[in-house]
Amino acid sequence: MSAERAAGVGGRPRVRTGAGVVEGRTGAAGTAVFLGIPYAAPPVGALRFAAPAPPVAWDGVRDAGAFGPTAPKVAYPDTFAALLPDPEIPGDDCLSVNVWTPDPAPGARLPVMVWIHGGAHTRGSSAVPVYDGSAFARDGVVLVSFNFRLGVLGYGLFPDAPANRGLLDQIAALEWVRDNIGAFGGDPARVTVFGESAGAISIGSLLAAPRAFGLFAQAVLQSGAPEVLPRAKVRTMVRRMASLLKVDATAAAFTGTALPDLLAAQAVVLRKSGPLLGGPAFGLVTDPGTVPDDPLDALATGAASGGVPLLLGWTSEEYRLWLAPTGGMRLLDRMGPLAVRLAAVRAGKDRAAVRALRAALPVASPAEFAGQLLTDGLLRDPLRRLAGARRPAPSFLYEFGWPSGVPGLGACHALELGFVFDMLAAPEASWLAGPDAPQALADEMHAAWVRFALTGDPGWAAWNGDGPPKVFGGPERDRAQEPTATRPVLP
């Protein structure tokens, strides 16, 4: 790939990529921003359920001043839509990357961070305002984000299509970074991938995927542990959709179905799916072409990515985002001891583990105790297992403990995102954080992520299998405070 830096209209920065020249915009503090650059061909028609194909080259200069289309998806239910911004941008060319860079010049060799968004493998995009990369570029890091196929399009399991297409998209985006990021001032040998929730789960599989080897040097997993779903559970989602659509459960039949009808059927089957249920869902599966073995086992035993430094962590009350908006906390409190027993089974906890946790949480309500059991099973236990594995590279653990100003949310899932990106000023950040979130905490957390990208050390000791994680924030605020948020008060 040849690279060039030039000034376009009004001094706008230009960069030559492998597919053609793109023209971005000048951002804050002299940074440059390039949005909506295709890394693969539009996944439409015969490509709807195919592996990603190379982008179509263009002549002249392509405008890169706006986010590209978001991947087809269904909206969050209203209770979550009030908390989680998820813009929808129409169009077919949804497989695109965005770049924020301090110096769009070949030879700058700056560290690169590549963001993989969350959303339960069914929602989300790189256009969420909280994911703006300006603060990273301000602090000397090239920030890349991208879209990938979601839901049945990215993760539906078919007999006549490759599995894990969303992961294949992510690998294609990382290959684009390898081949093109030098032209934007980045160093392809200094790439850190980071992601939250389903994005972190995806990184767990990327760490174990032979096809992704060498595409990044470090990884950050926020509130998501390496996992794969039983193939039967993913296949069940496809069969349920096929029954609704009255077509065969094949990629060929789903390709012949209008996209609005496909998404409407997906919306129906998603109502019975969720991170706490353990039933059928869309997600990653083991597959010879992408993830040949269980990624957590492969990583914990040193069979994969042993030389990749890891930053791993969670929030203190992950479960509150999953339960509070829907009234689930009240339901579990009414269930009492039964809720605790069911959560222990779902989390794989024996009686001794339940007793030990109860001793640590003597005044927790049934809902709070069940929620912590579930958080342990889904996140803390597997991430501790990974961090405590005898790997050549270090692992660093953290916990985000600052409670939201939105009553009922506490230190919930996804709350740390506005702090990591140093984007508390974005109006959408207050949807989860409420008013008056502490900028000093954002300064601390964002600086740790930047330091990890620069040096491989976020600023505290690597975890040795024992002791507490590094804690950001804490329960210094009174959770019984009077409601002050402008967002809806949660049950």
Active site residues: 197, 318, 413
Closest Cα partner for 300 from 234, 226, 364?
A: 226
Closest Cα partner for 113 from 49, 170, 25, 174?
A: 174
Q: Tokens representing 3? A: 């690279």
Strand partners, 144: 99, 114
Spatial distance between the Cα atoms of 332 and 340, rounded to a whole number of angstroms:
8
Closest Cα partner for 199 from 291, 95, 116?
A: 116
Strand partners, 23: 14, 63
> Residue type at 31?
T
Q: What is the DSSP letter of 107?
A: T
Is 89 within 8 Å of 119 (Cβ atoms)? Answer: no
Please list the alpha-helical segments (H only) found in 230-361: 231-245, 251-255, 259-270, 295-300, 319-323, 328-335, 337-347, 351-360
Longest dimension (CA), the chain: 68
Q: Is 364 exposed, middle or buried (0-12, 13-18, 19+ CB in 10 A)?
A: middle
Q: Which helix (H) or strand (E) holds 98?
A: strand 96-101
- Cα torsion at 6, 102, 65, 128 (round to 10°)? 160
Spatial distance between the Cα atoms of 337 and 281, rounded to a whole number of angstroms:
27
- Cα torsion at 274, 169, 251, 76 (round to 10°)? 30
Pairing relation of β-strands 21-23 and 61-63?
parallel
Strand partners, 146: 97
Closest Cα partner for 22 from 86, 82, 98?
A: 98
Closest Cα partner for 19 from 62, 66, 63?
A: 62
Is 490 within 8 Å of 324 (Cβ atoms)? Answer: yes
